[in-house]
Amino acid sequence: MHNSGAVPGPAMLFCPADRPERFSKAASCADAVILDLEDAVAPEGRSAARAAVSASSLAPETTIVRISPAGTPEAGLDLAAVADTPYRRVMLAKTESAAQLDALRSAGFDVIALCETAAGVENAAEIARHPAVAALMWGAEDLVVSMGGRSSRSAGGTYRDAARYARSRVLIAARSAGKAAVDAVHLDIADVKGLRAEASDAAAVGFSATACIHPSQVEVIRAAYAPSPAEREWAIAVLDEAESQPGAFRFRGRMIDEPVLRQARAVLGAAPTKLEEE
């Protein structure tokens, strides 16, 4: 049911579309690259950024282009630039309703709907059910701005309640519609511990991927999404034990039933850790 295959892997790296010299490096180090025609590019650089996207030749299956919000003059220009490329997956910034996706579907695009305003979060379930949508993503900073707030995080660096609520709403909306869910970026590049904790939590609760803004964050995210050797050993052992146990049973001090066995199967279905690959 859950369309985790809609994203190529757990680490999705944003790259400013006006920096074409970075495109290949970003694409090679991450599971997917998001060429950003919106917030990462100054207004005076948008035209050059569109030209750079049109001239690029990255792998279509791992390339996403973030376009400007629906209804803005920039959105049409962005879409025209992408139409001249083999890229057929776009990320629609500030998606707020399912109706905004109709034109993208008609043009043959798959969409990662970025729910990063109060309206977008409120309508996330409707958006997720749109046939053009491959995944939902949420964003904290624009969300807080849309509500008249000043900060998405507390002084300690953790998300405030409103941001956590939005994160959960978007995740559940995506998964209930059988779509992938992408967690928001961690803006503090130096805060590796914080990124690791957020990505680990994202993987644990069902996100398919975490977006990032710097190449140094890619391996942290990949490691967080990969089950540890201990987790895989437990999953193999508990599933083996289940073969000889009718119904619920006790294993290593814990009650095991079908939902827990499904979690174990999910662990074994995830990418192996680097340690296991070696």
> What is residue 6's predicted lDDT score, i.e. its pLDDT?
78
Q: Is the pLDDT of residue 175 over 80?
A: yes
Q: What is the pLDDT of residues 24-33, one digit of tens each?
A: 999 999 999 9
Q: Is the pLDDT of residue 2 over 70?
A: no
User: Which of 105-114, 138-147, 153-162, 266-275 has the least mean pLDDT?
Assistant: 266-275
Q: What is the mean pLDDT of residues 106-125?
A: 98
> What is residue 5's predicted lDDT score, i.e. its pLDDT?
57
For residue 153, the 8-state DSSP code is: B
Q: What is the pLDDT of residues 42-96, one digit of tens each?
A: 999 999 999 999 999 999 999 999 999 999 999 999 999 999 899 999 999 999 9
Report whether 104 contacts 132 (CB < 8 A). yes
Q: Is the pLDDT of residue 278 over 90?
A: no
Quote the percentage of the chain above a pLDDT of 70: 95
Going along the chain from its start, the domains and CATH numbers come out as 4-225 (3.20.20.60), 229-277 (no CATH)
Q: What is the mean pLDDT of residues 154-176?
A: 97
Question: Among candidates 91, 97, 169, which has minimal Cα distance to 127?
Answer: 97
Q: What is the mean pLDDT of residues 209-230?
A: 95
Q: How far apart are CA 158 and CA 175, in angstroms?
A: 24
Q: 99-131 b/e with 16+ CB inside 10 Å = b? A: ebbeebeeeebbbbbbbbbbebbebbbebbebe
Report whether 53 contacts 83 (CB < 8 A). no
Q: What is the mean pLDDT of residues 231-238?
A: 90
Q: How many CB atoms lie within 10 A of CB 193?
A: 11
Q: How far apart are CA 263 and CA 157, in angstroms?
A: 30
> What is residue 17's predicted lDDT score, i.e. its pLDDT?
98
Q: What is the mean pLDDT of residues 170-191?
A: 98
Q: pLDDT band at residue 232, thresholds of 50, 70 and 90?
A: confident
Amino acid identity for residue 128 in this structure: A
User: Which of 3-7, 14-18, 19-23, 219-223 has the least mean pLDDT?
Assistant: 3-7
Question: Among candidates 139, 25, 44, which has minimal Cα distance to 91?
Answer: 139
Tokens for 214, please give them.
């710097």
Whole-model pTM?
0.88
